Each structure stands twice: as C-alpha cells, then as structure tokens.
Amino acid sequence: MLAAGVIACLLFAFVLVQGARLLGGPQPATSGGAVINTAGADIGGPFTLTDTSGKRVSDKDFRGRYMLIYFGYSYCPDVCPTELQAMGRALDLAGPAADRIVPVFITVDPARDKGKDLADYVRAFHPRMIGLTGAREDIDAVTKAYRVYYKLGQPSKPGARDYLVDHTSFVYLIGPDGKLAALFRGSSGADALAEGIKGALR
C-alpha cells in the first residue's frame, strides 16, 4: 500500500511537470515545506457532484469561500483517515482564518461512499466537513480536472465490497474565485498544513 502510494505521488509530480511544460509555463517545484509550488500548472476547474443529502452541487456554490479539498474513500484503512484528521486539526490550529474555509472530502469510490454513511464519516473529522460523491462520470471529470490519480483494486471475489483504491494524496486549497490557491503534499501533518493555510490566506 505504501509503495503504491509513493508511485502515485511520483506520477502526480510527473503530471504537474509535464503539464506545465506543455503549457509553456514554469516547471512546478517543491518549496521544502508543506506547500507545493504549482506555478504554471492547470489544476482544478468546474465540477458538479452530489452531497450527502442527495442534492446536486457545483463549484459555483462555493464562490466567495475557500475550499480545502481532499480526494479519497471512506473504506481507506490508513492514508485517508490520517490526512482527514490532519485537515480537521489544521483548521482548528489556523484559528479565525479557518472560518473562511469549507473542508471538502470528494470520494473516488462512489459505489460505496454515499448518503448518511458518507456524512457520518466526514463529520468524524470535522463538524463542518462536507462529503461529495456522484456518478462515476462525475468523479472521473473532477479527478481529471484536479489531476488526481486513482485505480480501483480487485475484490476478494466477484461482487465483494472489500477492494482497496490506490490514489494520490494531496490537499487542495481553492480560492474564493474557484482557482487553486495552494497545493499541500500528503503527510505534511496538521501543524505544517495550518501554517500553509494561514500563509496562503494572508
């Protein structure tokens, strides 16, 4: 699982670099901290998904507020709960600045993540966290826009729901204008994430 995560992270970094080169922009670089410099990279964009009450929502519903987004799945045994816990803690550490941010969890496993189960899952990490799901084509569209890699694993037997999902692990801060404000590497920890958030909001 860890090896697969490392491969996914390297793939994401490759996509950022090659995307910037194709666009003729500067090559993205790491800053040495939690924040990844994404200058010149085209990340994010419009989406239409479904919240845990069944209501269709889009990126436009969040205009005027920041979104702190993580892509994962609720059956994830390790990485997702670790990152979501760090996100929730970082919002508490960021103080009043965090009031301007809506924490968002977008599932890459819509077959299992939906309704009350997804709502209960995200609220375990922060009372204001919103869970978003949708049809497979909705998820494919938003993951493509955000350069998220994911791949469904094989279940133990046909029809079983015990499969794992390999996916990249980054946290995205989207500005009130709907554009990427900051990208944070996975496993940064709550303290570093909080400092990065406060720095991006200054």
Q: Give the pLDDT confidence of 89-132 residue by residue, as tens digits.
A: 999 999 998 999 999 999 999 999 999 999 999 999 999 999 99
> What mean pLDDT comes out for the span 11-31?
35
pLDDT higher than threshold 60 for residue 1: no
pLDDT computed for residue 10 by the predictor: 40
* Amino acid in position 23: L
DSSP letter (8 states) at residue 124: T
> What mean pLDDT comes out for the span 32-60?
86
> What mean pLDDT comes out for the span 46-53?
97
> Residue 171 has which token pair?
């946290």
Arithmetic mean of pLDDT over the chain? 85
pLDDT computed for residue 27 by the predictor: 31
pLDDT higher than threshold 80 for residue 57: yes
Domains of the chain, earliest start first:
2-201 (3.40.30.10)
pLDDT computed for residue 42 by the predictor: 85
Q: Which of 125, 118, 173, 169 has its CA nearest to residue 147? A: 169
- 101-107 and 66-72 strand pairing: parallel
pLDDT computed for residue 167 by the predictor: 95
Backbone conformation region of residue 37, classed left if phi is above 0, alpha if psi is from -120 to 50, else beta: beta
Name the most confidently modeled range: 16-25, 37-46, 112-121: 112-121
Cα separation, 159 vs 3, whole angstroms: 26
pTM: 0.83
Q: What tens digit of pLDDT does each residue of 61-78 get? A: 999 999 999 999 999 999
pLDDT higher than threshold 70 for residue 164: yes
Cα separation, 198 vs 95, whole angstroms: 9
Confidence band for 21, pLDDT divided at 50, 70 and 90 = very low
